[in-house]
């Protein structure tokens, strides 16, 4: 049985879910946050040590301002209202992505939350925000060159945002779309990928458990036979 150390998720389909329910796209994002909370709960129960969630890509800045502001507010509220719960549950929160582009207020609360949870070890939640994989790889190579070191796979890995995380065992994308959308391209070289038809707010405990159970019995070769 394959052990599960790291699950990464592209939480797609919030906007469509909101519209499908004759409401706004933002209504879908709010519902998406409820699914995030459910998935965190199950990950804790199943003793999965790393969970990485794609919450905002570098390309998402192209969305209408109203939607961007809503997503930022959702993040801010989440950190404000759930931080104590994260601490109690021994969850370590880490942001992967370029924090510089965020308003000062959000940066402050992100840094505060990371700092308050940094010693926790039960579940590492990595929120990918203003994250783009290609730029992450370019930045990693730039750092290596700046330090006048030789470029190697090991060095590129150790200069990514994810340098302290194991590679994802499982990548899930909901929303009935089969693409990777510039998410963890380097890190998922040997991950098992599950494309899920359901929109993210509809993704539930049983869908998640089905994937975890399917993964456990996959023969993983890592290039061998
Ligand atoms: C993709 O769906 C989803 C996002 C860009 C945002 C994801 C955010 C959440 C689930 C809220 C979580 C927030 C926190 C604080 C963790 P989409 O809007 O691209 O959906 P569509 O494909 O239907 O348009």
Q: Identify the segments of the chain with pLDDT beneath 50.
A: none
Number of Cβ within 10 Å of residue 180's Cβ equals: 13
**Do residues 170 and 195 touch, judged by C-beta distance below 8 A?**
no
Predicted confidence at residue 158, as pLDDT, reads 98
Q: Which long-range contacts (CB under 8 A, 24 or more apart) does 208-214 make?
A: 208/39, 208/42, 208/172, 209/42, 211/170, 211/172, 212/4, 212/7, 212/46, 212/48, 212/170
Predicted confidence at residue 223, as pLDDT, reads 81
Residue closest via CA to ligand 1's atom 15 equals 75
Phi, psi of 188 (to 5 degrees): -100, 20
CA of 28 to the centre of ligand 1 (A): 8
Domain range annotation of the chain: 6-133+168-216
221 counts as catalytic: no
Cα distances (Å, whole numbers) of residue 59 to 23, 55, 56, 132, 177: 24, 12, 8, 8, 17
Atom of ligand 1 nearest to the CA of 127: 16
Burial of 224 (0-12, 13-18, 19+ CB in 10 A): exposed
Predicted confidence at residue 36, as pLDDT, reads 98
Which of 99, 96, 90 is closest to 117 using CA atoms?
Answer: 90
Three-class DSSP category at 221: coil
**Do residues 87 and 119 touch, judged by C-beta distance below 8 A?**
no
Q: Which CATH architecture has domain 6-133+168-216?
A: 3-Layer(aba) Sandwich (3.40)
Q: Quick check: CB of 32 below 6 Å from ligand 1?
A: yes
Predicted confidence at residue 85, as pLDDT, reads 97
Predicted confidence at residue 222, as pLDDT, reads 83
Give ∠ CA 103-115-71 in degrees, rounded to 5. 35
């Amino acid at each position: 049985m394959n052990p599960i150390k790291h699950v990464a998720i592209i939480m797609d389909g919030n906007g469509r879910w909101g519209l499908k329910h004759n409401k706004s796209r933002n209504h879908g994002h709010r519902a998406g946050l409820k699914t995030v909370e459910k998935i965190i709960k199950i990950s804790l129960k199943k003793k999965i040590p790393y969970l990485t969630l794609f919450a905002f890509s570098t390309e998402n800045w192209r969305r209408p301002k109203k939607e961007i502001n809503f997503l930022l507010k959702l993040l801010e509220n989440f950190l404000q209202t759930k931080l104590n719960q994260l601490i109690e549950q021994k969850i370590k929160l880490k942001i992967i992505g370029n924090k510089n582009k965020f308003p000062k207020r959000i940066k402050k609360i992100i840094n505060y939350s990371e700092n308050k949870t940094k010693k926790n070890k039960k579940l590492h939640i990595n929120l990918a925000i203003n994250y783009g994989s290609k730029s992450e790889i370019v930045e990693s190579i730039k750092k290596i060159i700046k330090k006048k070191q030789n470029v190697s796979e090991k060095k590129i890995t150790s200069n990514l945002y994810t340098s302290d995380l194991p590679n994802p065992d499982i990548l899930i994308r909901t929303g009935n779309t089969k693409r990777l959308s510039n998410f963890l391209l380097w890190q998922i070289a040997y991950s098992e990928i599950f494309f899920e038809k359901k929109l993210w707010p509809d993704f539930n405990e049983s869908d998640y458990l089905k994937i975890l159970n399917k993964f456990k019995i996959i023969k993983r070769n890592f290039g061998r036979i």
